[in-house]
């Protein structure tokens, strides 16, 4: 995907630098020109924006995460289609600075039990709040847990979240969603009917073990 740094999305969000890029989207630091504040803008890769299923999944992330109000979950602020310039689908989130838990582990090495629990306790609290709303993350892993400079912890990326107990599943039978070494047995087996809040509990335990 070409670098969109400098573009103004939706006439409001001026992209200033690339923060991260993955298989689905690129995340930019941006300035909200209307409210004069720093935000993060997640822009779907153009070739995926042509796929209705991926667009649905992308928008679902915004709706699922926007319904969550918790200090340990990155807030979603806006979502839309840019039609005044470069065509794209985007999500606007709070901009967080710091490092992922994966990067933190690479720097620190194995953590003490006390430090590991200090990090995982707020993650468990955030997941409990999501589960109360019927939302399961499905991709809990160190790279989706963010540590701010002040030590505050936040969960990132509800991109493959689903509402458990509902049948609106986007993946087809035999398709795995998640990261293999942190996936629960029901995810590995692609048993969609069994994927619920226990899936996140399993991945949380796998992450704690990694710490």
Active site residue 139: yes
Q: Residue with structure tokens 């709040």? A: 129
What residues contact 75, with CB distance under 8 A and at least 6 apart?
Answer: 65, 69, 93, 94
CA 50 to chain centre: 21
User: 73: which DSSP letter?
Assistant: B
Closest of 51, 77, 19, 42 to residue 157, by C-alpha: 42
Catalytic residue among 10, 139, 157, 200: 139
What is the spatial distance between Cα 166 and Cα 148, in angstroms, rounded to a whole number?
34
95, 39 contact by CB (below 8 A): yes
Angle (CA) 38-66-41 rounded to 5° is: 35
Q: DSSP H helical segments within the chain, as ranges?
A: 46-49, 52-66, 101-108, 113-132, 185-188, 197-210
**Catalytic residue annotation:** 139
């Amino acid at each position: 995907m070409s670098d969109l740094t400098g573009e103004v999305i939706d006439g409001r969000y001026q992209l200033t630098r690339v923060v991260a890029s993955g298989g689905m989207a690129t995340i930019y630091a941006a300035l909200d020109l209307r409210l004069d504040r720093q935000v993060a803008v997640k822009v779907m890769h153009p070739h995926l924006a042509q796929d209705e299923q991926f667009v649905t999944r992308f928008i679902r992330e915004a709706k699922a995460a926007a319904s969550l109000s918790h200090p340990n979950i990155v807030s979603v602020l806006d979502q839309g289609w840019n039609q005044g310039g470069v065509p794209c689908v985007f999500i606007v989130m709070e901009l967080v600075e710091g490092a992922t838990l994966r990067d933190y582990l690479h720097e620190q090495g194995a953590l003490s039990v006390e430090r590991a629990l200090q990090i995982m306790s707020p993650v468990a609290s955030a997941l409990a709040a999501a589960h109360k709303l019927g939302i399961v993350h499905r991709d809990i892993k160190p790279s989706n847990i963010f540590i701010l400079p002040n030590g505050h912890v936040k969960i990132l990326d509800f991109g493959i979240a689903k509402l458990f107990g509902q049948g609106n599943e986007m993946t087809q039978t035999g398709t795995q969603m998640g990261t293999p070494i942190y996936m629960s047995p029901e995810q590995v087996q692609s048993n969609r009917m069994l994927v619920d809040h226990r899936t996140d509990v399993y991945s949380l335990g796998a992450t704690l073990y990694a710490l």
